[in-house]
Amino acid sequence: MEYAGLRAGFRWRVPSRLNLAVACADDHPAAKVALVRIDGSGRRHEHTFGELADLSGRLAASLAERGVTRGDRVAIVAPQCLETGLAHLAIWKLGAVSLPLASLFGPDALAYRLEDSGAKLAIVSPDNLDKVREAAPGLDVVVTGEDGDFGRLLAGPAVAAVDTAADDPAYLIYTSGTTGPPKGAVHAHRSLIGHLPGFECYYEFADHAPEGRYDRATLPHTGPPAPASADLIWTPADWAWIGGLMDVLIPAWYFGMAVLTAEGDFDPRRAVDLIGEHRITLAFLPPTALKMMRRDGVRLDGAALRAVFTGGEALGAEVLAWGTEALGARINEGYGQTECNLVVGNCSSVWPVRPGSMGRPIPGHEVAVLDDDGNRVVGEVGEIAVRGPDPVMMLGYWNRPEATAEKYRDGWLLTGDLGVEDDDGYLWFRSRKDDVIISRGYRIGPGEIEESLMSHPAVAMCAVVGVPDEVRGEVPAAFVVLKPGHRASLALELELQEHVRTRLAAHEVPRRVTFVDDLPRTTTGKIMRRALRER
């Protein structure tokens, strides 16, 4: 099967009624392994789809007793773990909306998102509890872990999932903007269907679920199918990020595939050990992870790994070549964003990879490069856009109708990314149209960092821009004007970095702080970020 044939033969089949929890847990054979958990001591624990279905039903009943009902937002502030997966499923069974929040967020970042979303309750790991209580003192909290009350909520009877429409909201993920606070992208249950073609292509058609279980999108397979139970997928990406949640966990569970989670931070050598020891066949490894593995010179010999998906930032031809040889697996880059994910990419067994390119539009998605007048252009730089309607697209920004309207033009969702489409339909990323910083796959809005720095008593004015970094792609850099009575020093630089680290998140810390007398401005008074990036 060739690329043209895949596109021509594709048809969206989105059911009118769909519940993610039912599709990803209840509808699978109870004895089938759903989660492989590696604890801090390296011990392996297996959990079945039957456990997911039963325990999520019990948790849903307990959350309902705490007042959670259809449409309520429930925050999840916890790392990759069984409890995080159960929380999403239980929330969806109630027709409520899950709100994944990264463990790396500090109290200020949490406070905004919890307040803006109107979260009814938060499910929190013990290491995040103090931050959440500081961020939202009056919020009802359920604590995971042996000493928390999460286990007690699993002791009662289970409830069945409520009936939900495919267009009902299911999850809310905040994405950064250039100015002002982050915006929450609301996604429907149907967004799962929109993710499936990309998942199949990136992982070289790992979908071997029985046909007809759901009216869903399908792609023709290019080779003989292997049993889905033979696939084990893993990512170091946080499940609070759409890349961890919707590029791995939820589509894998929909297809009846086991997902591996391992405690601890990412380490290149440990990653190789995990892949080899546990016979991981599929992995989502962000470019930063691959660059770290290359830096450490790791290799996989005789491993079961057969496909690696990567995305979030450009990988580069050298890292792609290294990874293909050192890991012994096909590596497929992909592209999307929180508002509209997994729409461009590669499937190297079907169409050739062009190193440096993001790939081609995934079957089912119409993607083009538009000029300033909204016309499609080839061979010229323009804005990457996705044609709607598309099941993977967000319903809209939470409580921001004007921002939602600005995101679309004449039926196209505007990504804010500039790129070029070549004569063969491959897309090449050029830069952001705005000032969002892309670091380790995270999209970081400079406005939130600037607001945090401005809360420090020594800062009069500041501006944050992205600067190149060999491993992370980009990192934030801050230019700071001090108030009278404060002097520039290394100690103050470190203090400002720690201020951001403890109030926001580690990946938002400016890796460089430059003290300046003034900031370059336009005639209308706007800060000239381009001039700062050139310094």
In this predicted model, what pLDDT tens digit does every residue of 400-434 receive, in sequence order?
999 999 999 999 999 988 889 999 999 998 767 76
Written as six digits, the tokens of 481 are 């004007």
Tell me what pLDDT residue 209 has: 45
Q: What is the pLDDT of residue 224?
A: 36
Question: Which tens digits make up the pLDDT trace of 471-480?
Answer: 888 899 999 9
pLDDT value, residue 535: 74
Q: Give the tens place of pLDDT for each residue, 346-392.
A: 999 999 999 889 999 999 999 999 999 999 999 998 999 999 999 99
pLDDT tens digits, 182-204: 899 999 999 999 999 999 999 99
Residue 179 banded pLDDT, cuts 50, 70, 90? low
Fold of the domain built from segment(s) 438-533:
GMP Synthetase; Chain A, domain 3 (3.30.300)
The 10s digit of each residue's pLDDT in 254-264 is 989 999 999 98
d(CA 465, CA 478): 7
99 versus 206: the higher-pLDDT residue is 99
pLDDT at residue 531, as a whole number: 81
* Residue environment code for 362-382, b if the CB has 16+ CB neighbours within 10 A, otherwise e: bbbbebbbbeeeeeebeeeeb
Q: What's residue 46's pLDDT?
A: 97
User: How far, in Å, are 136, 246, 426, 527 from residue 191 at the CA level?
Assistant: 30, 9, 24, 38
Burial class (CB in 10 A: 0-12, 13-18, 19+), 3: middle
- In the chain, how many H helices and how many E strands? 17, 26
Q: What residues contact residue 532 under an 8 Å CB cut-off, 6+ apart?
A: 463, 465, 477, 479, 519, 520
Q: What is the pLDDT of residue 313?
A: 72
CA dist 170 and 242 (Å) reads 13
- Between 455 and 162, the higher pLDDT residue: 162
Whether 49-188 and 438-533 share one fold: the answer is: no
The residues spanned by each domain of the chain are 49-188, 438-533
What pLDDT is attached to residue 353?
A: 94
Residue 520 has pLDDT above 50, yes or no: yes
Q: For 124-139, how does the pLDDT look when each residue is reduced to its tens digit (9 = 90+)?
A: 999 999 999 999 999 9
Residue 470: pLDDT band (50, 70, 90) is confident
**Lowest mean pLDDT segment, chosen from 79-88, 89-98, 196-205, 516-525:** 516-525
Q: What is the pLDDT of residues 277-295, one digit of tens each?
A: 999 999 999 887 898 898 8
Stronger pLDDT, 228 or 4, i.e. the higher one: 4
* pLDDT single digits (tens) 40-73: 899 999 999 999 999 999 999 999 999 999 999 9
Is 50 exceeded by the pLDDT of residue 223?
Answer: no
CATH of 49-188, one of 3.90.1150.10, 3.10.20.600, 3.40.50.980, 2.40.30.210: 3.40.50.980
Model confidence pLDDT, tens digit, residues 224-242? 333 445 799 999 999 999 9
Q: How do beta strands 183-188 and 258-262 pair?
A: unpaired
The Cα 534–Cα 303 span in angstroms is 45
pLDDT, mean over the chain: 90
pLDDT at 446: 81
Q: Which residue has the higher pLDDT, 130 or 532?
A: 130
